C-alpha cells in the first residue's frame, strides 16, 4: 500500500502567484509590452483546472513550484549580476520540469540576455511602486 498526499489549494494558489510574478517582475525587465502581451495570447505559463489535475500530489505540485522559483531566481540573479555566471543547465532542467506537466514556457536561457531593459523603464505589466489615491 502506498500513501499519497494530494496537492492543496494553497499550492495551486502559489503556482498562480509565481506565474503572475514572472509577468509582473521578470518579463518586463527583458521584453517589451507587446511581446509580453503576445506571451499571454499564446498562454505562456498558463495553468488551467486540467493542469492542477495533472499535478495532483504534493510531490508534483512542489516540483512545479520549485521549477518556477528556480527559474525566477536565476533570472533575477542574472539581472543583478549579468556577467560571470552560468546557470543555463539548471535553467533548462527546470524548464523541462514545467514541460513535463504541460506548462508552456518556450524560452531558452540565451533569450534572457545580459542586455536587459532599464530598471526604470515603464511597462503596463510592472507593478506600480505606489498608488495615487484621489
What's the whole-model pTM score? 0.78
Coil, helix or strand for 7?
A: coil
Domain membership flag for residue 127? no
Domain membership flag for residue 123? no
Q: How many domains does the chain have?
A: 1
Domain membership flag for residue 3? no
Domain membership flag for residue 63? yes
- The confidence score (pLDDT) of residue 103 equals 92
CB count within 10 Å of CB 41 equals 8
Could you list the residue range(s) of the whole structural domain that residue 26 is in?
Answer: 9-111
Domain membership flag for residue 117? no
Domain membership flag for residue 97? yes
Domain membership flag for residue 30? yes
- The confidence score (pLDDT) of residue 52 equals 67
- The confidence score (pLDDT) of residue 125 equals 60
Label residues 46-68 b or e (16+ Cβ within 10 Å = b): ebeeeebeebeeeebbebbbebb
Domain membership flag for residue 100? yes
- The confidence score (pLDDT) of residue 121 equals 58
Flag residues of the chain having pLDDT under 50.
120
Crossing angle of helices 58-80 and 9-21, rounded to 10°? 20
- The confidence score (pLDDT) of residue 42 equals 95
Amino acid at each position: 500500500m502506498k500513501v499519497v498526499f494530494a496537492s492543496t489549494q494553497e499550492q495551486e494558489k502559489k503556482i498562480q502567484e509565481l506565474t503572475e510574478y514572472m509577468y509582473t517582475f521578470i518579463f518586463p525587465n527583458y521584453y517589451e509590452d507587446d511581446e509580453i502581451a503576445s506571451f499571454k495570447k499564446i498562454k505562456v505559463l498558463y495553468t488551467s483546472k486540467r493542469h492542477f489535475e495533472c499535478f495532483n500530489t504534493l510531490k508534483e505540485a512542489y516540483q512545479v513550484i520549485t521549477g518556477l522559483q528556480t527559474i525566477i531566481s536565476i533570472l533575477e540573479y542574472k539581472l543583478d549580476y549579468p556577467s560571470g555566471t552560468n546557470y543555463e543547465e539548471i535553467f533548462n532542467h527546470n524548464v523541462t520540469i514545467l514541460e513535463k506537466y504541460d506548462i508552456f514556457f518556450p524560452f531558452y536561457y540565451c533569450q534572457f540576455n545580459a542586455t536587459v531593459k532599464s530598471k526604470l523603464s515603464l511597462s503596463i505589466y510592472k507593478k506600480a511602486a505606489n498608488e495615487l489615491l484621489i
